[in-house]
Each structure stands twice: as C-alpha cells, then as structure tokens.
Amino acid sequence: RSLDNLSLSGPDKDPSQNEVDVQGVKVDDNLIKKPSSSSQSSAERWKNDAERHEVGVMPLPPDPNGPGELGKPFKIENPDAKTKKVIDDGWQKNAFNQYVSDLISVHRTLPDPRDEWCKAPNRFLSDLPSTSVIICFHNEAWSILLRTVHSVMDRSPSHLLKEIILVDDASDMSHLQEQLESYMSKYPKVKVVREKERAGLIRARLTGARHATGQVLTYLDSHCECTTGWLEPLLDRIARDRTTVVCPVIDVIDDDTLEYHFRDSSGVNVGGFDWNLQFNWHAIPERERKKHNSSAEAVATPTMAGGLFSIDKDFFERLGTYDSGFDIWGGENLELSFKTWMCGGTLEIVPCSHVGHIFRKRSPYKWRSGVNVLRKNSIRLAEVWLDDYKKYYYDRIGHDLGDFGDVSSRTKLRNDLQCKTFKWYLDNIYPELFIPGEAVANGEVRNSWSSQCVDSAVKADDLHKPVGLWPCHNQGGNQYWMLSKEGEIRRDEACLDYAGSEVILYPCHGSKGNQFWEYNHQTQTMRHGSSRKCLAIGPNKDKLLMEICDPTEKRQRWKFGSWNSE
C-alpha cells in the first residue's frame, strides 16, 4: 500500500465505508484498526493499542461512539507495562497525554457551547470579512495538530475561511517533517510554511502574517479545538470596527483525558497582569459588567492571553505588528494588549466564541540556553510601553537589565502613532491594578537579627501555604513585598494573612482583619490586626511565628527595603 491511495474520510463521508486513515510510513496492515463494528465497544477497540503509536500516528475515522466524542473524557484504565511506557513517552514529549489524543478522532464532536443570545437571528452582520487562520507550532503532536486544523475546517463557514497557514517553526519531529505536506495536500485551503531555523513563536507569527491574504488574521495555538459558531462572532466585532481586537473564550481541554470543559457566559474572565509582567485572569469587574444587558455580549479586557485572537490585518500593521526582537515565547501578548488600547483600539473577549486549548504544566520544547528569553522580551516591552512604571517591574527583577538589544525603532513607532501614556491605560483600562508606588513601603522584609527575609512565590499553588524565609538576597523576586496604605503586606494579589495558626499567603480581600499589619518605626515590630500579636522569626531562624509583642525581643524586629515619601 502506498500512502497516495489512502485518504482521510472526513465527516462528510460515510464512516461505515471501510476506508482507513493512515499517515504512518512503515505501517503493518495488521496494526490498522478498522472502523468500529457495532459489537465492539470503543474502549475495547483501542485498549492496549500500543503498537499503533510506535509506527507513527494514524488519524482515526469519525466514530459517533468513539472515545472523547462530545468532548467527554477518555481514560486508559490499567494499561499494561508496554502501553504505560508509550503513555509516559507521550507525556515526556508533549507535556500532555498524547496517547489519549491519538485514540480520539481528529474530527471528534463537541457540544454547542453558545448562549441562546448568540443564536438570535441577525445577531451578527451578514457581510463579514474573511480570515486567514495562522497556526504556528514547534514539535506539536500529530493528532493534536490535525485536530486543531480539522476543527477549524469543520466548524468555519467556507466563505469566511480564506486559508489556514501552518507555520512550522523548525520542528524536528519526523511526522511534521515527512508527512505534513502530503497530508495537507488534500485540503487546498491549507498552506504549509516552514521556518528554516527556529524563529520562536513571535517571529513565526510574523511569517504567517506575511503569507496571509485574508482581511483578518486569526491566530491559534497548535493544540486547540474550535467549537460551533466560533468564527462569526469574532469577525462581527471587527466588521463593526476595524480597530477592535477580539479573543474567544478559552475553554480548558484537560491535558490528561482531553475532556472539553465549557465555560458558560457567567464564568467568563478577563485578562490582567502583575508587576512581574505576567498575564493573569480576573472576574469581569463590576464597572464593565454594568455596561451590558447580556453576559454574552463582548466585554472589554485589559489584556489578552496571547494565543487565540483575531485582528484586522491593516490595524495589526498600523500597530507595528509584534516587536520582532522578541524571541521564542512570551511578552508579545502584553505588547499587543497595551498598544491596542494605548494607540486607539479596543481589546475584547467575545463570549459567543469558544475555542478549547490544552493548558500545559510545563514547556515541552527547547528554549535558548544561556539567556532568560522571557525576561529579555519583558524588558523590551517595559522600555517601550511602560513609561516610569517600568521601575516597578525592574524592582521585581533586581534592576539587572542585561543586554536587551535596541528598542529605538519601537519607541519611534510609539511616538509616530502618538499613542496615549501608560498612566492613561492604567487609569482608564485597568484601574483595578495595585500600583506599587502607592505603597507605603516596599522591597524586602528583613528580620534585623537573623538577616533572613520573608520569601515566597505567589503563584496560585503558593496561596494558602505558609510564608517562607530565606537569606536576604536583595534581588527582588520572591523577597519583594509592599506595605499598602491599607496595612497589607502584599505582592500582586497575595497578602500575608494570619488566622491563628501559621502566617500564610491568601488572596488580598481588602477588609483588614487577618491581613492588617501595623509597623512601629521605634520598636521595629510588626503588630497584627485581629490577633494583636507580633511577627517574629523562630529561634532556629527557619520559620515565622506570631508572639505576644515584646519590644525587647530581637526576633520581632523587622525592616522594610525602603519607605516611600508621604
């Protein structure tokens, strides 16, 4: 059998016709499973099907009763040793369960996630611009990439989908090198573009944009699934105003079972960021909620997550696309968010549009060695867009900027476009953000007797856990704290909190009580609000304690990095 006479049976074809999808090269016929016969359950059909994975992935034909259909979870129960090894390899390579993905049809069905509001007649303009969908990837799993592409083709109105541009960012996985063109040649709308050398996500996206012929660019990560009606609501917002940049609601596809978790309109979040220049999610603020009659209407968002959005091609160019000095990954989402708002546009999340994304817990691919790529990207971002506020980011990274390259052309762009200030952006678009300059004191919280500093990361995983201690290092990071006017000791949205047992990190609530700390400059003690006890370090210098205040006790003496003038 040669590859040429095998073709994929799309959803338009009758799945019962005995056609088998094979893209593996060294395929033994015995290993190819035929589409399900009614007597066999899908679970049985694929159980311990480890061999299939060793010969490369063959996309499965549609099967209404197959695993993962309707977005349901698929679990491999009690795999034998051989299968377990294949599962582990898949995790290792991709940081998600590739084995499970390989057993789910690349055309699997998903429920329609849309709010009734979205389905009203004439909800969207009838004359919408067409879009080029651009998907960049570096070493993406075959079945995951195909499912992304098919979900676009299967669920986008043909006249709105100008093309799909796959930008291969110098992958070395053999399925991507050897089988991509032959597979995609069956789909005239799909174009494959190759980077000769690793360009990084951001420059790969720019390559995609150069090849695009649609009026609107739509970017997706390479492990996504688009749901019914995802495209029209995005294009509608852009058709009404070319300077509106839009993101779908990003639903979670489970990294282990590939279950599709829908987020209904009431659970929609908007994007923010913290002073590490890291993106984060928030509930829609009241000021924005009040503007809408239905929770399905598009909402303004201060920032975008980065991977999934549509933008008018001309507007993207007017904004100077991305900073091509950004390497590999990161920072580009905030750059585009800030300049969209500051240079005359609007950024929105569109609850009628849902796209699933596999969130990974680690990055599976190689980064450049020897440079902190993300930090360098963020410094370029801060230099160009943050005005004086950049110092708050630099406080976090210990003011060590290193060589971040030349940003003069980006600064010129900002001046030429006469964009508004970052202060305008914070006051008008993101008033919820805590501004470190409004803190009473900031920097390290040092125990004067031991030279230990309060030290904790404040990621979601660190909340509700005891606050740590570490020798003071004077580099910001996990030792950077702020004493707010309200008496909180905080970093971003995490506050030191004491409820009678240990001093922990807790989301700031703004109502004093367990998060209220009162510093006494004379005695250097830090008295806690509700308990009236004082913060101390244990005699072994290894943990925080709360003790009856005693100004003669050296273990209760603390110093803040610096005090802001009042």
Binding interface with ligand LR7 (CB under 6 A): 136-138, 140, 169, 198, 200-201, 204, 221-222, 250, 305-308, 328-330, 332-333, 357, 359, 363, 365
In the complex, least distance from residue 176 CB atom to Mn ion, rounded to whole angstroms? 16
In the complex, least distance from residue 308 CB atom to Mn ion, rounded to whole angstroms? 9
**Is the CB of 250 or the CB of 534 nearer to ligand LR7?**
250
Q: Which strands, in side-by-side order, build the sheet including 544-547?
A: 517-519, 526-528, 534-537, 544-547
Q: 3-state class of 94 per DSSP?
A: helix
Contact between 455 and Mn ion by CB under 5 A: the answer reads no
Q: Which of ligand LR7, Mn ion, none does residue 332 bind to, with CB < 5 to 8 Å depending on kind?
A: ligand LR7
Q: Which of ligand LR7, Mn ion, none does residue 169 bind to, with CB < 5 to 8 Å depending on kind?
A: ligand LR7
Could you give the residue ranges of the DSSP H alpha helices within 286-440?
Answer: 286-289, 313-318, 332-342, 373-385, 390-396, 408-416, 422-428
In the complex, least distance from residue 358 CB atom to Mn ion, rounded to whole angstroms? 7
**Is the CB of 45 or the CB of 376 nearer to ligand LR7?**
376
**Is the CB of 221 or the CB of 255 nearer to Mn ion?**
221
In the complex, least distance from residue 377 CB atom to ligand LR7, rounded to whole angstroms? 9
> 132 forms bridges with which residues in the sheet?
163, 217
Q: Which of Mn ion, ligand LR7, none does residue 52 bind to, with CB < 5 to 8 Å depending on kind?
A: none
CB 453 within 8 A of CB 479: yes
**Is the CB of 117 or the CB of 359 nearer to ligand LR7?**
359
CB 263 within 8 A of CB 251: yes
* Number of residues that this document lists for the chain: 566
In the complex, least distance from residue 95 CB atom to Mn ion, rounded to whole angstroms? 10
CB 385 within 8 A of CB 425: no
> Which residue number is nearest to Mn ion in terms of Cβ?
221
CB 232 within 8 A of CB 128: yes
Copy the structure tokens of residue 495: 């506050």
Distances (CA, A) of 299 to 114, 222, 280, 292, 294: 16, 25, 16, 8, 10
Query: Distance between alpha carbon 535 and the CA centroid of its chain, in Å?
Result: 37
**Stretch touching Mn ion by CB under 5 A, among 24-32, 62-70, 197-205, 220-228:** 220-228
Q: Which of Mn ion, ligand LR7, none does residue 330 bind to, with CB < 5 to 8 Å depending on kind?
A: ligand LR7
In the complex, least distance from residue 66 CB atom to Mn ion, rounded to whole angstroms? 25
C-alpha–C-alpha distance, residues 492 and 433, integer Å? 8
> 188 forms bridges with which residues in the sheet?
none
CB 483 within 8 A of CB 535: no
C-alpha–C-alpha distance, residues 499 and 484, integer Å? 19
In the complex, least distance from residue 266 CB atom to Mn ion, rounded to whole angstroms? 25
Q: Which of Mn ion, ligand LR7, none does residue 329 bind to, with CB < 5 to 8 Å depending on kind?
A: ligand LR7
Contact between 221 and Mn ion by CB under 5 A: the answer reads yes
* Residues 348, 354, 359: CA angle, nearest 5 degrees: 95
Q: Which of ligand LR7, Mn ion, none does residue 447 bind to, with CB < 5 to 8 Å depending on kind?
A: none
**Is the CB of 168 or the CB of 221 nearer to Mn ion?**
221
**Is the CB of 84 or the CB of 194 nearer to ligand LR7?**
194
In the complex, least distance from residue 319 CB atom to ligand LR7, rounded to whole angstroms? 16
CB 442 within 8 A of CB 483: yes
**Is the CB of 238 or the CB of 253 nearer to ligand LR7?**
253
> 505 forms bridges with which residues in the sheet?
496
C-alpha–C-alpha distance, residues 44 and 37, integer Å? 11
**Is the CB of 358 or the CB of 429 nearer to ligand LR7?**
358
Q: Which residues bind Mn ion (CB under 5 A)?
A: 221
